[in-house]
């Protein structure tokens, strides 16, 4: 490893340009944390991302608890904001993709998914925390697996075994000779690749976003020496620009994740073609 995994914050490196010190570039080590409790080798341990994940849950529940615990017909400010978010997911995503009648059942799941992912992403730009929990594959993977299990079981429940098989393989008689090949590709694409891409899409976006932020942050610190100060200024501007961009990407990726979730559920409920 190029740097001590514990020294993930830029100023901890105490290394500047013209000091005969190499640029401490961010890398995979930036995504590893010494456990706060226990040891990495143990079966049970507790690290920063876990803390942030649980803390994020508490924040989401706290927010919605404050907003929806005793909701009023004429809403207060907080309730209005929470309602706007809730309504956006419910009408804008669930009703749009699955439909009002069948979608109503999945609204709580999709709303929870959206706000959970958004919160986990938001940690990226929260001072002190400054780490997107979703840039650790475990968290997106768990969520993608929940959706995957729901999707597969819904498909079997709705179409029976043969129907579900046809649904997964995109069975279509008109394809003729190409049908077996198409079925194999569809089968892999749907059952194996889909959950993987679903999780990795979110993970990779947040991973890359965090790396970019780290890069410019570390560079701002590293360049802060002698003539390099001019470059440090540019780099710092990039930190601000990228932070704003990340703010956008965080919401977008949460949106994309739940939109895909709804599309999968809709595909499971729809009549196979």
Q: Residues in the site for another protein, rule: CB under 8 A?
A: 1, 27-29, 31-32, 40-41, 43-47, 49-50, 53-54, 56-57, 60-61, 64-65, 67-73, 79, 82-83, 86, 107-109, 111-113, 115-116, 136-139, 141-143, 146, 200, 203, 207
- Smallest gap, in angstroms, from Cβ of residue 97 to another protein? 18
- Smallest gap, in angstroms, from Cβ of residue 68 to another protein? 4
CB neighbours (10 Å) of residue 60? 16
What DSSP line would sit under 104-125, residue for residue? GGGHHHHHHHHHHHHHHHHGGG
- Smallest gap, in angstroms, from Cβ of residue 148 to another protein? 13
Question: Could you give the CA distance from residue 143 to residue 79 in angstroms, rounded to a whole number?
Answer: 27
**Inter-residue contact 31 to 136 (CB < 8 Å):** yes
Q: Which is nearer to another protein, 28 or 229 (CB)?
A: 28
Q: Which is nearer to another protein, 54 or 181 (CB)?
A: 54
Q: Which is nearer to another protein, 19 or 87 (CB)?
A: 87
Q: Which is nearer to another protein, 79 or 266 (CB)?
A: 79
- Smallest gap, in angstroms, from Cβ of residue 12 to another protein? 19
- Smallest gap, in angstroms, from Cβ of residue 37 to another protein? 11
Question: Could you give the CA distance from residue 121 to residue 143 in angstroms, rounded to a whole number?
Answer: 14
b (16+ CB within 10 A) / e for 130-164: bbbbbbbbebbbebbeebbebbbebbbeebeeeeb
Name which of 254, 264, 138 is nearest 193 in CA terms.
264
Q: Which is nearer to another protein, 116 or 168 (CB)?
A: 116
**Inter-residue contact 205 to 231 (CB < 8 Å):** no
3-class DSSP assignment, residue 46: strand
**Inter-residue contact 10 to 218 (CB < 8 Å):** yes
Q: Which is nearer to another protein, 53 or 249 (CB)?
A: 53
- Smallest gap, in angstroms, from Cβ of residue 173 to another protein? 38
- Smallest gap, in angstroms, from Cβ of residue 264 to another protein? 17
Q: Which is nearer to another protein, 22 or 38 (CB)?
A: 38
**Inter-residue contact 81 to 67 (CB < 8 Å):** yes
> Phi and psi dihedrals of 46, rounded to 5?
-135, 125
Which 8-state DSSP code applies to residue 37? B
- Smallest gap, in angstroms, from Cβ of residue 42 to another protein? 9
CB neighbours (10 Å) of residue 43? 5
Q: Which is nearer to another protein, 182 or 200 (CB)?
A: 200
């Amino acid at each position: 490893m190029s740097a001590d995994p514990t020294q993930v914050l830029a100023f901890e490196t105490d290394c500047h340009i013209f000091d005969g010190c190499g640029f401490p570039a961010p890398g995979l080590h930036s995504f590893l944390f010494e456990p706060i409790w226990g040891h990495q080798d143990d079966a049970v341990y507790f690290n920063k991302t876990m803390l942030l994940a649980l803390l994020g849950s508490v924040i989401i529940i706290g927010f919605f608890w404050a907003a929806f615990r005793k909701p009023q017909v004429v809403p207060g400010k907080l309730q209005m904001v929470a309602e706007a978010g809730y309504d956006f997911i419910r009408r804008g995503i669930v009703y749009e993709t699955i439909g009002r009648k069948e979608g109503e059942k999945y609204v709580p799941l999709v709303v929870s998914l959206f706000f959970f992912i958004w919160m986990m992403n938001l940690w990226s730009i929260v001072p002190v925390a400054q780490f997107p929990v979703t840039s650790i594959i475990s968290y997106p993977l768990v969520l993608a697996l929940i959706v995957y299990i729901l999707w597969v079981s819904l498909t079997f429940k709705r179409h029976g075994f043969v129907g579900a098989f046809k649904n997964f393989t995109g069975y279509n008689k008109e394809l003729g000779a190409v049908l077996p090949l198409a079925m194999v590709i569809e089968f892999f694409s749907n059952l194996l690749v889909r959950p993987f891409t679903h999780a990795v899409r979110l993970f990779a976006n947040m991973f890359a976003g965090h790396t970019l932020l780290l890069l410019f942050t570390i560079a701002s610190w590293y360049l802060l020496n002698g003539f390099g100060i001019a470059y440090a200024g540019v780099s710092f501007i990039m930190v601000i620009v990228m932070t704003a961009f990340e703010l956008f990407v965080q919401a977008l990726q949460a949106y994309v994740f739940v939109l895909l979730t709804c599309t999968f559920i809709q595909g499971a409920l729809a009549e196979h073609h």
